[in-house]
């Protein structure tokens, strides 16, 4: 039996919140009712933050991380090691690796992993731009820091083959991350050690 709402406006708002990942209808209802109890300024500030984010946020032209400018603050930082690139699946992974304070190089955000079951192929990811960065000859090491899932392993091997023609060291984070785990859910100590103790990637790992 579908839930009856006292207001069509309430139902519409709940429906929108329920579209968010991890948000069920009961949680959506609590969030909407919470906003209803706030004053107009608080709700307008919330709504404006979302609109401003959507309209003004940028993606770094170099690494594809979320940024407030054309080039993100990491790529723009002269203190970072520009000869080392850490390849990650998404923005959350950049944040996870940064929180370890173990990596001082640059990043490359793929925007996902190869997953034929989900209709995601190499052309849907930022792999060509990674190859272009390496082809310039300034990169000495590429660290593959993708989750230890079947899709992550498939993507690692594809990148390995694409970068084979170039004189670049290819390494993979140590398997301190359990098989099937995603980086953003790993604790900082484990992830930090996995990066520090990375091993050479040969395509047979």
Distances (CA, A) of 24 to 2, 4, 18, 145: 14, 16, 5, 31
Q: Where in the chain is CATH 3.40.1360.10?
A: 66-200
Q: Where in the chain is CATH 1.10.8.420?
A: 8-56
* pLDDT value of position 40: 96
- Whether the pLDDT of residue 94 is over 50: the answer is yes
Look at strands 199-200 and 169-172 and give their pairing. Answer: antiparallel
pLDDT digits (tens, 9 = 90+) for 141-166: 999 999 878 899 999 999 999 999 99
pLDDT digits (tens, 9 = 90+) for 12-58: 999 999 999 999 999 999 999 999 999 999 999 999 999 999 999 99
* pLDDT value of position 1: 44
Closest by alpha carbon to 176, among 196, 162, 157?
Answer: 196
Strand, helix or coil for residue 169: strand
Summary mean pLDDT of the chain: 89
Average the pLDDT over 73-101 and give the result: 94
Which class is domain 8-56? Answer: mainly alpha
For the entire predicted model, the pTM comes to 0.80
Query: 66-200 architecture in CATH?
Result: 3-Layer(aba) Sandwich (3.40)
What's the pLDDT band for 111 if we cut at 50, 70, 90?
very high
Looking at the chain, the whole-number percentage of residues with pLDDT higher than 90 is 73
pLDDT digits (tens, 9 = 90+) for 113-149: 999 999 999 999 999 999 999 999 999 999 999 987 8
């Amino acid at each position: 039996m579908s839930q009856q709402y006292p207001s069509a406006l309430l139902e519409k708002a709940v429906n929108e919140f329920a579209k968010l990942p991890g948000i069920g209808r009961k949680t959506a209802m609590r969030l909407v009712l919470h906003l209803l109890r706030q004053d107009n300024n608080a709700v307008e500030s919330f709504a404006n933050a979302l609109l401003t984010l959507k309209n003004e946020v940028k993606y770094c032209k170099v690494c594809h991380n979320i940024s407030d400018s054309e080039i993100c603050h990491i790529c723009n930082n002269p203190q970072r090691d520009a000869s080392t690139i850490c390849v990650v699946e998404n923005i959350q992974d950049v944040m996870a690796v940064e929180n370890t304070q173990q990596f001082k190089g640059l990043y490359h955000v793929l925007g996902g992993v190869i997953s034929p079951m989900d209709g995601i192929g190499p052309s849907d990811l930022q792999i060509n731009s990674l190859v272009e960065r390496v082809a310039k000859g300034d990169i000495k090491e590429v660290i593959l820091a993708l989750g230890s899932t079947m899709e992550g392993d498939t993507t690692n091997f594809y990148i390995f083959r694409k970068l084979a023609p170039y004189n670049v060291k290819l390494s993979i984070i140590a398997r301190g991350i359990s098989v099937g785990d995603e980086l953003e859910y790993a604790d900082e100590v484990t992830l930090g050690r996995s990066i520090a103790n990375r091993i050479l990637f040969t395509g047979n790992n």
